[in-house]
């Protein structure tokens, strides 16, 4: 291939792909891939979030889908250049299907496709109105009895949920619900977001006062309205809260705050939900076609059970309800757990003058923020990336273009580098008794996040307090029981306590479905999150995508949405398009929905 330019190599493969597809020849299309080649699709060919691994899976998918979907016109994206990346060539690509337009990314090695990403960009005839097609706002010309924008909006607000039923009900008004709500609004899908708190952003405001985002600003943008250039790298929780509140307002979302859902039931005949919600103290029955649980993959608190919790005379809190350190100056606090929340809470308590002990029950992955930003995110999400033309949209797609099967091999070298660079730091932590790990296979933080959503701390200072003994550490032993005044560990250590904080994480999101709908439906859809990697807290078999997230589940009309700001932004696009397609009755043949192997 030495005499071939990247553009020629990519164009040749895309031409062959178009030919195979036009001849309805899945085998020929699959033969364009390497043996290890992967095709990742976000809702464009599979109406699912799905990775096909190897030619056989690719041929099977095409055999099932191509007649209805009619994928075609694969081409290098106009205005973009194919690149030689050393061992492979890569390019941004466009294509279309019978009902939509797609965008994606391709990597080619030795003339064969190594990775192919296809994503649904928009539905034909249902494009978002922006740029040249943005609304006029003022309707020029005059018309008797015409309503103003404010009157029209007030009428919509008064009617939706009462006289007019929403197509989609989103339960949970954090960043996930808000980002999805914004996309649905732009697509013209009537939606209501319900949120138990008083104001948008309260899910951040109500957390412990020292909380700041651990992800940097470039990773955190919401759709449509990026943070301004003066926005801090790591935004404080209240500032994010204010942003979410204002975003909800200017994006004109139908956001019902101080509202809780009490029950939901799917009517298989009418193909709609009946959801009871309590708004301002009054029961309202909503009948949406689609129900999205955006209650947070970190919101269903795991409250561990220990003997003696009933007789303990001090306070007990889950990390999600810990109010912050102000009331605990001079008090003895025991924090159970050793992940992000535990570290943040311990540090804030120490700052406020509490006597704080962290109980580390199992090993934890620690990465300091600076090297993580530099090595882990810098090439995609940083000021340097922006300067190099890697917009947030491009960064999201580049990250998405690496199939989860391959991602560990991309991630491990990053953490090997960090481990070497920060060797003295890790030695000091180990010397303090802290049990460290790098994930079962040494692939670090992102893989832990994707597999189990836990097991790490992005260090912004607490580790030094542990090294210095300012946060006391008890590691290697679990809680045995509580007495009236203390926490007693299995090794016999007794830790006197005025307050016990359970920083013990969160359960699977299908637990929300059990609470709201039924245990039967929760079991039918099964566990959310995790890749099936057969590593700690992510049991196999291999799924290749995060279970149940942003895609059809075993329960018709039930969807899960969540994750960090990056995922809320990126995946809300595909979830919104799936919901739009159903609203307008486009065919959405779902390919390869995973079987349920785990209930929680």
465 binds a second copy (CB under 8 A): yes
Task: Dig out the tokens for 46 from the structure.
Answer: 């599979």
Residue of the chain from 98, 149, 323, 494 that contacts a second copy (CB under 8 A) = 149
- Got the DSSP string for 102-126? EEEEEEEETTEEEEEEEEEEEETT-
CA-CA distances (angstroms) from residue 152 to 75, 157, 222?
43, 9, 26
H/E segment holding residue 183: helix 175-186
CB of 443 to a second copy, least distance (A): 25
129 binds a second copy (CB under 8 A): yes
CB of 228 to a second copy, least distance (A): 4
Length of the chain: 600
Cα separation of 205 and 311, whole Å? Answer: 31
Is residue 525 within 8 Å of 513, Cβ to Cβ?
Answer: yes
Task: Dig out the tokens for 418 from the structure.
Answer: 């960090």
Cα separation of 13 and 326, whole Å? Answer: 62
350 binds a second copy (CB under 8 A): yes
421 binds a second copy (CB under 8 A): no
Cα separation of 166 and 154, whole Å? Answer: 16
Nearer to a second copy, 186 or 443 (CB): 186
Candidates 50-58, 241-249, 509-517, 524-532; binding stretch for a second copy (CB under 8 A): 241-249
Nearer to a second copy, 207 or 452 (CB): 207
- Number of residues lying near a second copy (CB under 8 A): 64
Residue of the chain from 79, 228, 281, 492 that contacts a second copy (CB under 8 A) = 228
Residue of the chain from 250, 285, 327, 388 that contacts a second copy (CB under 8 A) = 250
Cα separation of 454 and 442, whole Å? Answer: 15
Candidates 13-21, 59-67, 147-155, 300-308; binding stretch for a second copy (CB under 8 A): 147-155
Is residue 539 within 8 Å of 533, Cβ to Cβ?
Answer: no
143 binds a second copy (CB under 8 A): yes
Residue of the chain from 188, 323, 353, 433 that contacts a second copy (CB under 8 A) = 353
Helix (H, G, I), strand (E, B) or coil at 361: coil
Residue of the chain from 13, 261, 450, 462 that contacts a second copy (CB under 8 A) = 462
Omega before 541 within 30 of 0, i.e. cis: yes
Closest CA to 26 of 61, 75, 51: 61
Residue of the chain from 132, 281, 305, 424 that contacts a second copy (CB under 8 A) = 132
CA-CA distances (angstroms) from residue 135 to 131, 138, 149?
9, 9, 12
327 binds a second copy (CB under 8 A): no
Nearer to a second copy, 20 or 191 (CB): 191
380 binds a second copy (CB under 8 A): no
By the criterion CB under 8 A, which residues form the site for a second copy? 128-132, 134-138, 140-146, 148-151, 153, 186, 205, 209-210, 212-213, 217, 224-225, 228-239, 242-243, 245-247, 249-250, 347, 350-353, 369-370, 383, 386, 460-462, 464-465
């Amino acid at each position: 291939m030495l005499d071939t330019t990247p553009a020629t190599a990519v164009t040749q493969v895309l031409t062959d792909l178009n030919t195979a597809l036009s001849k309805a020849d899945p085998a020929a299309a699959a033969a364009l891939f390497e043996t290890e080649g992967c095709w990742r699709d976000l809702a464009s060919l599979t109406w699912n979030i799905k990775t096909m691994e190897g030619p056989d899976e690719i041929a099977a998918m095409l055999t099932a889908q191509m007649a209805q979907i009619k994928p075609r016109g694969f081409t290098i994206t106009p205005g973009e250049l194919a690149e030689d990346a050393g061992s492979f060539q890569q390019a941004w690509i466009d294509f279309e299907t019978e009902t939509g337009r797609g965008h994606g990314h391709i990597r080619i090695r030795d003339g064969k496709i190594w990775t192919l990403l296809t994503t649904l960009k928009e539905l034909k005839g249902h494009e978002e109105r922006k740029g040249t097609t943005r609304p006029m706002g003022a309707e020029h010309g005059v018309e008797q009895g015409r309503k103003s924008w404010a009157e029209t909006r007030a009428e919509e607000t008064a009617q939706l949920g009462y006289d007019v039923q929403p197509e989609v009900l989103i339960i949970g008004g954090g960043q996930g619900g808000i980002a999805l709500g914004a996309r649905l609004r732009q697509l013209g899908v009537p939606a209501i977001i319900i949120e138990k708190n008083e104001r948008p952003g309260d899910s951040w405001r109500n957390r412990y006062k020292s909380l700041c985002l651990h992800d940097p600003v470039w990773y955190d943008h919401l759709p449509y309205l990026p943070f301004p250039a003066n926005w801090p790298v790591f935004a404080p929780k209240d500032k994010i809260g204010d942003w979410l509140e204002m975003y909800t307002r200017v994006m004109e979302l139908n956001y019902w705050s101080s509202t809780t859902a009490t029950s939901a039931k799917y009517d298989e005949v009418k193909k709609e939900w009946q959801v009871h919600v309590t708004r301002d103290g009054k029961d309202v029955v909503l009948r949406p076609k689609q129900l999205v649980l955006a209650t947070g993959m970190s919101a269903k608190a795991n409250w561990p059970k220990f003997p003696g919790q009933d007789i303990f005379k001090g306070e007990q809190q889950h990390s999600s309800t810990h109010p912050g350190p102000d009331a605990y100056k001079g008090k003895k606090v025991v924090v159970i757990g050793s992940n992000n929340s535990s570290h943040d809470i311990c540090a804030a308590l120490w700052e406020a003058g509490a006597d704080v002990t962290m109980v580390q029950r199992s090993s934890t992955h620690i990465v300091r923020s600076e090297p993580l930003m530099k090595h882990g995110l810098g090439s995609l999400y940083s000021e340097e990336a922006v300067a190099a033309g890697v917009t947030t949209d491009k960064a999201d797609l580049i990250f998405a273009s690496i199939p989860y099967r391959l991602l560990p091999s991309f991630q491990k070298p990053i953490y090997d580098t960090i481990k070497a660079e920060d060797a003295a730091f890790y030695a000091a932590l180990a010397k303090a008794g802290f049990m460290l790990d790098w994930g079962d296979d040494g692939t670090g933080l992102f893989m832990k996040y994707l597999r189990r959503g836990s097991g790490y701390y992005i260090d912004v200072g607490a580790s030094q307090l542990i090294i210095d003994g300012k946060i006391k550490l008890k590691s290697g032993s679990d809680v045995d029981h509580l007495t009236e005044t203390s926490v007693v560990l299995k090794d016999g250590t007794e830790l006197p306590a005025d307050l016990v904080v359970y920083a013990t994480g969160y359960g699977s999101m299908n637990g929300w479905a059990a609470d709201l709908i039924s245990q039967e439906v929760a079991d039918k859809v099964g566990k959310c999150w995790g890749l099936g990697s057969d590593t700690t807290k992510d049991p196999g078999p291999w799924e290749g995508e995060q279970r149940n997230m942003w895609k059809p589940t075993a329960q018709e009309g039930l969807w899960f949405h969540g994750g960090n700001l990056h995922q809320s932004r990126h995946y809300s696009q595909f979830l919104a398009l799936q919901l739009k397609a159903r609203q307008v009755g486009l065919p959405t043949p779902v390919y390869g929905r995973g079987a349920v192997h785990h209930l929680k």
